[in-house]
A and B are shown apart, each in its own frame.
Chain A
Amino acid sequence: MSTTLTHGHAAVHDDHGPAKGIMRWLTTTNHKDIGTMYLIFSLVMFLTGGAMALVIRAELFMPGMQLVDPQFFNTMTTVHALIMVFGAVMPATVGLANWMIPLQIGAPDMALPRMNNLSFWLLVSAFSLLILSLFMPGGGPAAGWTLYPPLVLQTGDAFPLAIFAIHLAGASSIMGAINIIVTIMNLRAPGMGLLKMPLFVWTWLITAYLLIAVMPVFAGAVTMLLTDHFFHTTFFAAAGGGDPVLYQHIFWFFGHPEVYIMILPAFGIVSEIIPTFSRKKLFGYDAMVYATASIAFLSFIVWAHHMFVVGMPLAGEMFFMLSTMLIAVPTGVKVFNWTATMWRGSLTFEPPMLFALAFLFLFTIGGFSGLMMGIAPADFQYHDTYFIVAHFHYVLVPGAVFAIMAGVYYWLPKWTGHMYDIKLANWHFWLSTVFVNVLFFPQHFLGLAGMPRRIPDYSTQFADWNMVSSIGGFGFGLSQLLFVYIIIKCARGGAKASDRVWEGAYNHGLEWTVPSPAPYHTFEDAPVVK
């Protein structure tokens, strides 16, 4: 009886193996394939957006205009941001979610596999449109990634392409979010209660709710831009009874939770890695979950701190200042808990841990500058200067991006079955960490000295730190080629990785109980979690 069963099972297995050639990738509904595609897509976008950042840093290397027209410079800042936010960071975390959530909760796949495929290919269409918009008459979108009217309405033929790109990317995100929620709610292995889920699953569950809440808001805002542009509505035009500031309120009601959409999964990744390499349980698991939830809640009531200089009434400024400062409390709890996890642990420093530690230090620096900007009177000086640029790059690059890299280095052996070149990965870590600080730390000084953001040229007093920052930029950008090389090398071969991969991974998640590389189908029979 049992032999027959096993035999039947194997036959089914064969039938469901991946299709051959390109059709495997176009039509796949396998969470691992889709996860891989998301991650590769995100890496390509990361390099594309990075190349744009290098155009920016090259023009800013010296005072005077040497390389590009100011309008093209504005296009670069705009599209760099759109690509990095919607094309690099978000898809990377979605890719990790696709790969890891089913493995971490003991599910055979995502709950809605066809929608999973659709949401990936919609994303590809979205970014094809956005890249295409660069070649339209009148140039690409150049009004900043926030797309503030009335300026954004001056965009040429690129305008509808950029808007539709956002619509598609938004639809893709909403589908991804629905899929993640349904998967987590319905496909957990028996015995895995909500408060037993790995932190990465928790942070993604909360992120998914944020996505569903705010993506439609953003879609609404850009749709109103579209009708203002083409159908003579005046939602945001004062001359027709509309209000340009209304757009900013709607945008940031989306935009602030969006910030946490990018950082919460990063918190989750770091919360997986630090315990593994400290050989200790995560300190204050419940507090971590509640802190994540409170950060998510607060993200809905702080949006106007992006708009302190817009001319809000005093009461509004006061409310948004105080609510913003509150965010420091749950964020502080998280940092303290990670530190307490390392306390009296038994630490080793493999590449994932190195990146997680850099995250811990450098994200905290970004948190401090964030607190400073929350103080409304001081923000009257910081607003729209390089101080802001330094802040959000600290939380996004050595914050979110480093956490994603940590995650890749953590799970790559599980995906490929090979251990990557640790020595090269260490090199990648040290180069990235040194250069990211050379790149972004001086931007604090530039902002405080009075350099506005989004300018293609500057007064000579800003020359020195800009040169330092540009050197850091090129150093950081080139270091990422090493990352690509390490991944390709690892996918092609290397030392065989064990199932557990990391010595400390014992008892740190179901993903370490399946073979390396993880077979095409896992957990067809649900594991039992005690």
Chain B
Amino acid sequence: MKLKRALGAMSATALTALWSVPASAAWTLNLREGVTELSREIYGLHMLILWICVVIAVAVFSVMIYSIATFRKSKGAVSASFSHNTTAEVVWTLIPVMILVGMAIPAARTLVKIENTSGSELTIKVTGYQWKWQYDYVDDGVSYFSTLAQASNEARQLDSGIDVNKVENYLLDVDNPLVVPVNKKVRVLVTAADVIHNWWVPDFGMKKDAIPGYINELWFRADKVGTYRGQCAELCGRDHGFMPIVVRVVEQAEYDSWLAGQKAARQAAAAPAAQTAAVTTNANETTALVALVANAE
């Protein structure tokens, strides 16, 4: 009795230990629910179909296992001679049809919602390049590139000698993340400049191909502040595995100040550039003038 209890305690500790390791989300088994209405609906659909499949599987596999266990020649089973049963065949054709209709109805409903990008409050254009992303806040004139973070990039080189387990968010970190406000319907226009890429953030439940010459749409409304990570999901060449997506979902106020900061930085960067341009033009004119004078002489 004592031994039993001790063993029980030990296995409980072992189990706890086993389950505490995956604090870093290792040994993950299932889809995540995500932080948008769509991602939760998709998760719900996923679980619905999964359970339907599990139930059917248990039923069908039970019959198979029962047959294998029971109708053995070694147990003296003698084979029957039937090879048709119309009733059974009609039943196992019609029941799947009904189950499928039951799945198709909620699926169609979600699909309609996914494709409805109307009423968005913010539009961002995403352009895929080999191998980085460009984000354009089309209404605000803010635009920048987002590439793999330096630490990950150094560690991922062949035989870099760097322990990737020590790199924070290895391969899922970027220099300039996308920033969006919480609880706003964000419409993302997805396109590409060279080959086909795919913009995917699992927590938003959405991915869309970024295709040169096409502008695809997707939308999300994140309802939880946080940092969400995704990856390019369409083979796009050598560094396909190294162009992650990071989205920071922030409060509206923080978003506003971030956007203002971006605009100010752009103006600051643009001003000296404009000056340089002006100087160059002047210099050119001077040269032309000198040339003219020289010719005249």
List the interface of chain A (C-beta within 8 A of B): 63-66, 68-71, 74, 142-144, 148, 150-151, 154, 237-239, 243-245, 278-285, 287, 309-311, 314, 317-318, 321-322, 325-326, 328-329, 332-333, 335-336, 339-340, 342-348, 357, 360-361, 364-365, 368, 371-372, 375-378, 380-381, 383-385, 445, 448-450, 452, 454-461, 463-465
Contacts and interface: CB of A to CB of B under 8 A. Distances in A.
Contacts of B211: 238, 244-245, 310-311
Interface stretch (B90-98, B139-147, B250-258): B90-98
A361 B67 CA distance: 13
Could you say which of A68, A287, A345, A375 has the most chain B C-beta atoms within 10 Å of its C-beta?
A: A375
B82 to A, nearest CB: 8
A522 B4 CA distance: 69
21 contacts: A65-B156, A65-B160, A70-B241, A150-B194, A154-B237, A279-B73, A280-B80, A325-B103, A333-B93, A336-B89, A340-B85, A342-B68, A342-B71, A343-B80, A346-B71, A365-B57, A384-B200, A384-B234, A449-B28, A450-B202, A460-B170
Contacts, number: 282
A107 to B, nearest CB: 26
Contacts of A452: 200, 231-233, 241
B13 to A, nearest CB: 20
Nearest to B67: A342
Contacts of A318: 108, 111
Contact of B205 (A285, A357, A380, A464): A380
Contact of B202 (A154, A381, A456, A463): A381
- Top 9 nearest A-B pairs (CB, nearest first) are A238-B213, A455-B241, A311-B216, A449-B28, A344-B80, A281-B83, A368-B53, A346-B79, A377-B110
A448 B92 contact: no
A339 B63 contact: yes
Interface in B180-209: 190, 194-196, 198, 200, 202, 205-209
B196 A148 contact: yes
Contacts of B240: 70, 74, 454-455
A465 B27 contact: yes
A374 to B, nearest CB: 9
A332 B96 contact: yes
Contacts of B165: 63, 460, 463
Given A71-B238, A357-B64, 15 more contacts: A70-B239, A74-B240, A309-B207, A314-B115, A328-B96, A346-B79, A372-B49, A377-B107, A378-B46, A384-B200, A445-B28, A448-B31, A450-B230, A452-B241, A459-B169
B26 A384 contact: no
B2 interface: no
Contact of B235 (A74, A344, A346): A74
A376 B212 CA distance: 23
B238 A239 contact: no
Given A346-B77, A448-B31, A340 B88 contact: yes
Interface of B: 24-32, 39, 41-42, 45-46, 49-50, 53, 56-57, 60-61, 63-64, 67-68, 71-74, 77-85, 88-89, 92-93, 96-97, 100, 103-104, 107-108, 110-112, 114-115, 155-160, 162-165, 169-172, 190, 194-196, 198, 200, 202, 205-209, 211-214, 216-217, 230-242
Given A71-B238, A321-B111, A343 B96 contact: no
Given A310-B209, A378-B45, A383-B233, A336 B73 contact: no
A392 to B, nearest CB: 15
Given A325-B100, A381-B202, A280 B64 contact: no
A281 B53 CA distance: 29
B202 A339 contact: no
A455 B231 contact: yes
Nearest to A367: B53
B28 A377 contact: no
B46 A381 contact: yes
Contacts of A340: 85, 88
Contacts of B46: 372, 378, 381
A448 B241 contact: no
B159 A375 contact: no
A338 B41 CA distance: 36
**A63, A310, A450: most-surrounded residue (chain B CB, <10 A):** A450
A361 B61 contact: yes
Contacts of A343: 63, 67, 71, 80
Nearest to B199: A309
A450 to B, nearest CB: 4
A377 B238 contact: no
